[in-house]
Amino acid sequence: MERAVSPGSTATIDSMSNVGTFLDKSLLPNALHILGEAGSLAAGKNSSGATTAYLVGGPVRDLLLGVQSRDFDIAVDADGPTFAAELAGKIRGEVTFRSEFGTAKIAAAGLVIDITMIRSETYAEPGALPLVQPGTLEDDLARRDFTINAMAVDLTPGRWGELTDQHGGQRDIVLKTIKSLHPGSFSDDPTRMLRAIRYESRFGFKMDPKTLTSMTESAGSLAKVSPFRRLAELRLIFGEETTVDILEHAEERDLLAGIHPALRISRQALNKFDSAPDSLSNEERQTYYMALIGSALTQGEAESLSRDLELSSDWSGALLSGPKFKGVAGILDRSDLKPSEVVELLAPFPVVALEAQLQLAPPLLRRDRLSAYLTDYQHSKPELNGDDLLALGVPQGPLVGKLIAELKVGRLDKTILSRFEEEAHVKRRLPMLT
């Protein structure tokens, strides 16, 4: 069949039946080597009894879109962990995860390879985890979320690159459309609604009209999903480059409240998502998002969100900082506040939460104080350390900490300006304290 799409272009609507040359040309050499080894292992004698191996789901979609994957999903007609153990040995990888449901993960050459057993899935009730059974490739593709994620590429040497696309995945890539495989897809797994919005935003695609209708009808069912899975979806949204766009779409479609009823994101907070300081790591940036969200919540809402979704201490601390900061914001505007008092007020907050508050602050004194705290005050410390104090005759024990704290206050408020003045302070205070 004709070549349909080339990496980075989606010009024609013809479909391909073999993407072998695509694989050869587009994949990085390490990825190509690993996929080749997986196909050869399945086609030859192997301990799991596998006879075929397919590249499935997201990496096939990314291949056709011209996007480099670092995550490769391979499906085999055998037990995933057994196959993974043997493959890991051949590609000098390490099995980092294995489950009783026939799945395993390998880390190799900077890539992640997920091995699953080709399976069928049925849902006992909406939102529940699926019941998994061995199945055919057709079953395995039919259980998936969207047409663009329901394609498979054969990796075995004789059939290298043969594409199975029974749901119109190539067509929908060309049409830039997110389309569910069947009308019950969102009620089977309501997290797919959030996945749809992520893909829509990540790839600049549009929702197929029937899929959108089904989303409108199913929005309320997200609440049936376990808190763990709802939180996992929020993390995935935070991990995308287009987080703001995704959150806006999720809000428009009533899906944020499905993650948690208290999850409201103010326009003001959303406007600041992209202002996260460049110095933040990926993890810290996500914590910063939580702090922005917390700024619009009441204490009760932040507590229930944190408790119900079992947030990590970092996320919970950031979220709860929002309502807590409301209690100190007014004090920070007082003109008679000394730097040491600013430190006393702000030191209990996580730094990343203060970064968020700085972005949100109106042009009042509080903004200057937040900025001074973050750039200067929080790093201020006396020149003398504990050993220096002992050398000056301070007895070991709590007095050392007390005097260090006094020196810190003196340095912040500029009543102590040098090492000499620090020593003088210690010598003056010591007789009063002992």
Provide, rounded to whole angstroms, the least separation between the CB of residue 223 and ligand CTP.
16
Nearer to ligand CTP (CB atom), residue 121 or residue 308: 121
Q: Give whichever of 235 and 419 is closer to ligand CTP, judged by the CB atom.
A: 235
Backbone angle region of 140, left / alpha / beta, with phi > 0 → left and psi within -120 to 50 → alpha: alpha
Task: By CB under 6 A, tell whether 145 contacts ligand CTP.
Answer: yes
Please state the closest distance from residue 169 (CB atom) to ligand CTP, in A: 10
Give CA torsion, residues 228, 233, 235, 238, to 10 deg. -160
242 and 274 Cβ atoms separated by less than 8 Å: no
170-178, 188-196, 207-215, 376-384 -> range binding ligand CTP (CB under 6 A): 188-196
Which C-beta is closer to ligand CTP: that of 154 or that of 355?
A: 154
Stretch that binds ligand CTP, among 26-34, 191-199, 207-215, 340-348 (CB under 6 A): 191-199
Distance CA 173, CA 27 (A): 19
CB of 3 to ligand CTP, least distance (A): 23
Q: How far apart are CA 434 and CA 286, in angstroms?
A: 48
Q: Which residue has the tokens 């395995």?
A: 140
For ligand CTP, which is the closer residue by CB, 52 or 295? Answer: 52
- Give yes or no for residue 191 binding ligand CTP (CB under 6 A): yes
Q: How far is the CB of 57 from ligand CTP (least distance, A)?
A: 3
CB atoms within 10 A of CB 282: 9
> Minimum CB separation from ligand CTP for residue 50, in Å?
19
- Stretch binding ligand CTP (CB under 6 A), from 27-35, 104-112, 144-152, 363-371: 144-152
Question: Out of 144, 260, 272, 425, which residue is the one contacting ligand CTP (CB under 6 A)?
Answer: 144
In the complex, minimum distance from the CB of residue 330 to ligand CTP, in angstroms, rounded to a whole number: 44
> In this chain, which of 36, 39, 58, 169 binds ligand CTP, going by CB under 6 A?
58
* Residues in region 68-87 near ligand CTP by CB under 6 A: 71, 73
Smallest separation (angstroms) from ligand CTP to the CB of 274: 21
- Candidates 105, 192, 411, 425: give the one binding ligand CTP (CB under 6 A): 192
Residue 172 binds to ligand CTP (criterion: CB under 6 A):
no
List residues binding ligand CTP (CB under 6 A): 57-58, 71, 73, 144-145, 149-150, 189, 191-192, 195
